[in-house]
Chains A and B, each alone.
Chain A
Amino acid sequence: MLDKPASALRLRERLLDSERLMEETGCYDGITELTLRNQDPLKFETLHTKLRAYCVSAREMARRISASPGVREVGEMVVAIYTPEGDAIALSNGIMVHVHTMSRFIKWMIKNNYEENPKIREGDIFANNDAFIGTVQVPDVMDVVPIFHEGTLVGWAGAVCHELEAGGITPGGDVCLAQERFTEGLFVCAEKIGENDEIRRDYVIRCERNLRMPIYWVLDEKAKVASCIDMRESVKQLISEIGLDYWMKVSKEFIEEGRRAQLARTRQLTVPGIYRGHTFYGHVTAGKPGFQLLGDPDWLYNIPIEMEITTDGKITMDFEGTQPWGYHSMNCTPAGMDGGMFVTLTQHMNFEGLVNDGAWMATELKLPHGTWTNPDNEMVATATSWALLLPAYGVFQRLLSRGFVARGFVEEAFVGQVNSPMIEMGGESQYGTPFGMAHFECAAAGSGALAIADGLDTAYVGWNPESDMGNIEVWEQSMPMVYIGRSIVPNSGGAGKYRGGCSFVSTWLINKTSHLRLHTSEHSSRVFDNGGMCGGYPAPTCQKHRAVRNSNIHELAAKGAPLAHAPGIDPHVSDYEKNIGGDHVLVEGPYITSPHKSGDIFSHSYNGGGGYGDVLERDPIKTAWDVENGYLTREAAIQIFGIVLKDDADGYPLADIDATVERRAAMRKDRLAKAIPVSDWIAAERGRVEKADFAPEVKKMYASAIKLSSRFTRDFSDFWNVDAKSIFMPGAKP
């Protein structure tokens, strides 16, 4: 019987048994001894390397099937091999955030008795993009196929692609305007979409009828199924070589080994203790077209994190004190939070050895019920959950890095990821056809600084360690816009002894269309959504959008007049305003407005990372190079870093060391003159706190945090020596 595992236990019972064994022994599946590893370590390691090779090879093959530039060009895909119970044994490179979310999807099907109905048979294909079952957001569509060996279910092969169009209320995948689940687009809820290795025609028709650009989704489905079948056949071949009993044991030992290795690495690289940090996110939608008035239009989110590392090496992250879920698309499910944890661990600690779900098992997330991290309402939208996830896990990276610095592993310290805002679009393509897509050049922002060097410029995002912005020409094939500029944004990295990596800005001319809807998401307004470390400043992440409607660019081009290719470095008057005629637009927050047409100009900038260390220690010579190459401005060099530049004979900037020493001494003196004791500041600020003399959004943030968290209330009250509840929730019971 193909629909029944050969084990005496049904899958559901096996899963529950495995969880019980973990609970009782503290070891995955009750494996207290790594018997096979001890018997033949070389065979053990070789087998895992083979599994990893199966995954990497299957992903690369599948990327050639996909039509989506998101998958083909920038690699928005990951594949993995799982145990029958749904725990990841081995995975490919790519968007590793989904390895554990896929695990949740498989377990969800098992726990919901899919063995009985719709049954799990050889050749079946299951798909899901429901974050409450197991993914991050609606465009992250995952496919899994069971692996049978002579009638026994011996594992699963799974693949995820980030879709560029999900059929939501606004075009693209990260549906910025979604305020409830029902506007996020096409949901596939743990559905059997194919049998006998073939995707069902009626499922494809549903995709074709409900998406703006079905070719991306449908060919990605074929790519994912091809990769799953490829991995499945490789695993079956391997089992025929090593035997079923060995496979069933070794696949679980791999995971237990991964768990132990994670604990050991934590003990090796960090210091036990309590680590704390926070970040913020501003969401500004007042007056924007399309937003329903389901709650206050403008939101300020605080994201405090307390991380504990115990002496046994376990890492626990606690989000108590953060904000409730809201009627916006930035909520996140526990699956998404798991995913963020997993992809961060794989980059910073799980970089060697057997990378798999074992690492995740050595950690714990505390996600307060009712907050954006764990909504108590499954109707909420999660289409842009990265908006809060990325800043949150940027904090996690800084907390871990504090441990690396304390332990002496300064080369591992990293100031962390930032949001990388996304553009989505739809309407009429340059070919005169309907279209919709997300532009994925955002997959190459600036990184936070290291503790020993500047951050990576335009080469890092948190969700995919294989960052890539893609080629301009490829993007131009897919959208009715042509690039008139793509350039480094000076000073976009946070200042510090080591600056954050810089981001870039693109400028487009809208071309050959009479109707182009442009929307953006996942960028914070009015606040920094990242931070610096050890004296470094946050990166400037609250950027506004600049556009020109009805521009005269064609007339200027015909005359050979100079154009503008970037916003420039004057925050008050952009180069577009200086050089191009037309109706200039400046938009704060999500860009949601009436459609554009040919001749309009639109620009969009991405974020750099935070800085590390005191700005007065920055290398003057490196700074001169930065100014020469457009990473820093001359104003920044002198004003922030105290570095005096002069020009060499050819007009290039040259550091004046003596003048710099003198200026820095003066700046240090000035600092000391301006600074006041913290105790004095607290005493003065306390009066403002008592009067709640804050902006309405700030007051609302405190009231929400106090309502949800007794710890936040206590910490706030203790710090200011006030009764927080009576200040921010007058009339509430004490």
Chain B
Amino acid sequence: MTSYSKEVLGDLAAGKLPWPQTRRIMSAYKDDDRFFKMVAVYQDRVAWKDPILLPVSDHLFICQSGDERITRCECGHSFGDYRKNWKLKAAIIVRNTEEALREIYPNSDIPDPRWMEIREFICPQCGTMHEVEAAAPGYPIVHDFQPDLEGFYREWLGKPL
């Protein structure tokens, strides 16, 4: 069975693994012990103690915090119950003028801000940009991911949550 050390997976997640080795991992049969090893890698990366249950973005994790399961930023900021859209508890910068769009697209043709805006969802504590939405003005904010956490642990991982 294919398996990698935590160190190798840590380097893989950090984009530090040499490309030939990364390429071999991409082409090889997948390692069945990946999930918990990768969770361990992330757990080492964060300063807080709540056990990580699921990574949901580059720096966002669902974790067990006492009796609650919450979405937490790598910096420790809590976005509340994992079943709710974390974006609603974030800070936001909306780029809906030519000037604001031009800051990100200095050398290209840019959208018409009457048709499209950019919404940057930011951690109010550390300022990490967790997600960017490109949407028509007035479009509801998207709830990207509602994992079936119970089903995942019980039926796919065969472990209690």
Contacts and interface: CB of A to CB of B under 8 A. Distances in A.
A409 B148 contact: no
22 contacts: A267-B156, A273-B149, A277-B142, A300-B115, A311-B155, A402-B144, A406-B55, A406-B147, A408-B37, A491-B105, A495-B104, A497-B58, A527-B111, A528-B116, A537-B118, A571-B110, A613-B58, A668-B127, A675-B127, A677-B124, A688-B137, A688-B138
A300 B29 CA distance: 43
Interface in B114-150: 114-116, 118, 120-122, 124, 126-149
B4 to A, nearest CB: 11
B93 A311 contact: no
Nearest to B108: A540
Interface in A14-56: none
Interface stretch (B43-51, B63-71, B83-91): B83-91
Interface residues of A, number: 89
Contacts of B89: 678
B145 A302 contact: no
A157 B28 CA distance: 31
B60 to A, nearest CB: 8
Nearest to B22: A411
Contacts of B142: 276-278
A302 B122 contact: no
A540 B107 CA distance: 10
Interface residues of B, number: 77
Given A676-B92, A685-B138, A537 B145 contact: no
B93 A402 contact: no
Contacts of A570: 107
A269 B156 contact: no
Given A408-B38, A633-B106, A678-B92, A272 B147 contact: yes
Nearest to A677: B91
A715 B139 CA distance: 10
Interface stretch (A228-236, A374-382, A592-600, A689-697): A689-697
Interface of B: 9, 12-13, 15, 17, 19, 22, 25-26, 29-30, 32, 34-35, 37-39, 54-59, 87-94, 103-112, 114-116, 118, 120-122, 124, 126-149, 151-152, 155-156
Given A276-B143, A410-B38, 9 more contacts: A273-B147, A276-B142, A300-B136, A405-B56, A405-B57, A534-B130, A537-B104, A678-B87, A678-B88
Given A269-B30, A406-B54, A537 B132 contact: yes
A446 interface: no
Nearest to A540: B108
Contact of A280 (B121, B132, B136): B136
A322 interface: no
A715 B92 CA distance: 21
A273 B12 contact: no
A694 B114 contact: yes
Contacts of A447: none
Main secondary structure of the interface of A (DSSP, over half): mixed
A490 interface: yes
A513 B87 CA distance: 56
A464 B13 CA distance: 28
Contacts of A527: 111-112, 115-116, 134, 136
B108 A672 contact: no
Contacts of B115: 280, 282, 300, 526-527, 695, 697-698
Contacts of A215: none
B110 A542 contact: yes
Given A451-B58, A526-B116, A535-B128, A672 B30 contact: no
Contact of B145 (A276, A492, A536, A679): A276
A199 interface: no
A311 B118 contact: no
A698 B137 CA distance: 8
User: Top 4 A-B pairs ranked by shortest CB distance?
Assistant: A408-B38, A675-B91, A719-B140, A540-B108
A167 B85 CA distance: 50
A182 B62 CA distance: 54
Given A272-B147, A277-B142, A636 B134 contact: no
Contacts of B134: 279-280, 527-528, 531-532, 538
Contacts of A640: 103-104, 106
A200 interface: no
